Amino acid sequence: MSHINVTINGRQYRMACEEGQEVRLLKLAESLESRIQSLRGKFGEIGDARLVVMAALTVCDDLLDTGPRIRQLEEELEALRGVRTAAADRARATQVAVANALNAAADRIERTTQVLNRTIGGGVAIG
């Protein structure tokens, strides 16, 4: 367990966090401090506790808005995965059809070549 000092609303707080999470905790504290300063700029000195509560509410508001947006993006992603799968299936089917058409054409060319060789080469040596 690590401990770091963060500054929120001009006050130092010693916080515990998991090893490796120090930078994240500092960024979280900086984000909260930025919200508090922004609110202080809008409303002036309305009391430290009130500023912190208002900042916490703005964080909760943002978080509440992200849930439906995340669900919408997950649905869009799933739809796009379906479209991609369908496109890949169509591409495979097209490849098979093209390969079959090329094989059929090659077979016809081979048969035509054999017929021509028998007809033209009917005993006459060329060369």
The string of DSSP letters for 42-83 reads HH-S--HHHHHHHHHHHHHHHHHHHHHHHHHHHHHHHHHHHH
Does position 122 have pLDDT exceeding 70, yes or no? no
pLDDT surpassing 60 at residue 81: yes
What is the pLDDT, as a whole number, of residue 5?
Answer: 95
Binned at pLDDT 50, 70 and 90, residue 78 comes out as: very high
User: What percentage of the chain carries pLDDT values higher than 70?
Assistant: 94
The pLDDT assigned to 16 comes to 95
Min mean pLDDT across 50-54, 75-79, 91-95, 107-111 is at 50-54
| pLDDT for the residue numbered 124 | 52
37 CB neighbour count, 10 Å cutoff: 14
- Helix axis angle for 48-120 and 22-43, nearest 10°, is 120
> Quick one: pLDDT band at residue 99, thresholds 50, 70, 90?
very high
pLDDT of residue 22: 95
Q: Using a cut of 0.85, tell me whether the model's pTM lies above it.
A: no
